[in-house]
Amino acid sequence: MRWLLLLGLCAALSARATGALEFSLHKLESGLPGPTVLVVGGIQGDEPGGFHAASLLVTDYRVSRGQLWVVPNLNFESIIRRSRGLNGDMNRKFATLASDDPDYHEVERIKALITAPEIDFIINLHDGSGFYRESYFDTLHNPNRWGQSIIIDQEALGTSRFAQVGKFARALAQRVNDHLLTPQHSYRVRNTRTAEGDAEMAKTLTYFAIRNGKPAVGLEASKSLPTRERVYYHLHLLEGLLEQLGVGLQRDFALQPLAIEAQIESDIRLSLFEEKLRLDVATARHRLNYFPMRRGEGMHYLSNNPLVALVPNGDKVRVSYGNRRMTLLQPQFFDYDDSIQQVEMEIDGERRAVSLGATTTVARRFSVHPPAGYRVNVIGWTRPGVDNEAEQLIERAQIPSRFSVDRDGTLYRVELYREERFSGMVLVRFGDEAVGNVSSREDERQAADERS
């Protein structure tokens, strides 16, 4: 998977202002005629079904007809902080909002997208409480619950294209109810009749769209379900509704809860220093000490997933993915050197050039052969009297597993320096075959790392 976007700037080790994490927009275009649909996830930060479904649209789907504009992380700061809304409920800020409200900038940005002339339809993804039912059954199944419902503000709009939102919603409920994991999960259409006096719903994103002549619906999965099942229903709803609207989608994974969980939990990559320092955060240890970072300025970072962020945490930097902390980096600051892009290594008897930032797999042993003037530090390997670990033949058994980057104990840091400047890193994975760019996952927490 390619690097998708420049996610942001982490002002490392400084106080972070609320709202500093801005949402990202991803335009998935087919090159073929069709409508343009805006999909929004994460307006409330404690609803992972919605924001993970939107993120999967970005990372694992291809549009074959029409266009999708996806905002998977609208209330990004609240997502990272596992809060419904750090500054109050963002989905109640679309009627009136003071310019000094901390969410003002992001609300104005999403309003501009909703009202953009290209947009034909808006879908807002939510996780709601319990299971919506038209009449009272019990505390989890009643008219005051929102889960497993398709929300419309009114039956139809005065606009000509896609005006019959009620018709779309009922057809969608019928379709998704053919794919239930259990009958209890059945979907209903909920018409809030907002214009008839629902003061709360009048403040929402979807009703803002309606007031501006744009058809919109809210899709709700139940918070009573695990995240993988919420995402399962969101993706079924999205695929069904987008098909009705004329947008074509293609994916290469099975639409089943465990397959969806595997997609969510794997291949979550982070890149720093122009991709000469990379990390698969899905496999990272709970904490990585002495992590080389650029001195004296904020840290630009790339990720292949729009839910990844770097967040200052005291004197450390937290790597977050959605509302989970994946690892904690203890920085060691250096001036950076960009004089080389690759280094020569001998891997299992074969010489090859390895790009800085790459992961290369070693079956038995390796050595590093940089140009003159560069120093090598293989984190965890040590030999008395050796300060520069270039030209040393190194085997897996010589490095304590507590120094690994991953919790499986297979992945190790090889760092290069020019004098006191950091030049880049290669990750060495000990495995059976010498192939590059592989990733794995494990779940244990680690003991504190140390640095040789």
The residues spanned by each domain of the chain are 31-264, 266-430
- Say which CATH topology domain 31-264 has: Aminopeptidase (3.40.630)
Residue 4, pLDDT score: 52
Per residue in 394-448, pLDDT tens? 999 999 999 999 999 999 999 999 999 999 999 999 986 433 333 333 333 333 3
DSSP H/E element including 411: strand 411-418
| 3-class DSSP state of 154 | coil
Whether the predicted pLDDT of 280 surpasses 70: yes
Average pLDDT on 226-254 reads: 98
**Buried residues in 137-172 as b, exposed as e (16+ CB within 10 A):** eeeebeeebbbbbbbbbbeebeeeebeebbebbeeb
Joined tokens for residue 215: 């058809």
Percent of the chain with pLDDT over 90: 86
Whether the predicted pLDDT of 18 surpasses 90: no
Lowest-pLDDT choice from 257-266, 269-278, 324-333, 415-424: 269-278
The pTM is what? 0.90
pLDDT band at 8 (very low <50, low <70, confident <90, very high): low
**Buried residues in 71-97 as b, exposed as e (16+ CB within 10 A):** bbbbbbbbbbbeebbbbebbbbbbeeb
Residue 442, pLDDT score: 31
Lowest-pLDDT choice from 108-122, 154-168, 232-246, 419-433: 419-433
Per residue in 334-354, pLDDT tens? 999 999 999 999 999 999 999
Joined tokens for residue 111: 């309003």
Q: In this structure, is the dihedral angle defined by the CA atoms of residues 169, 171, 176 and 177, taken in order, positive or negative?
A: positive
Residue 381, pLDDT score: 97
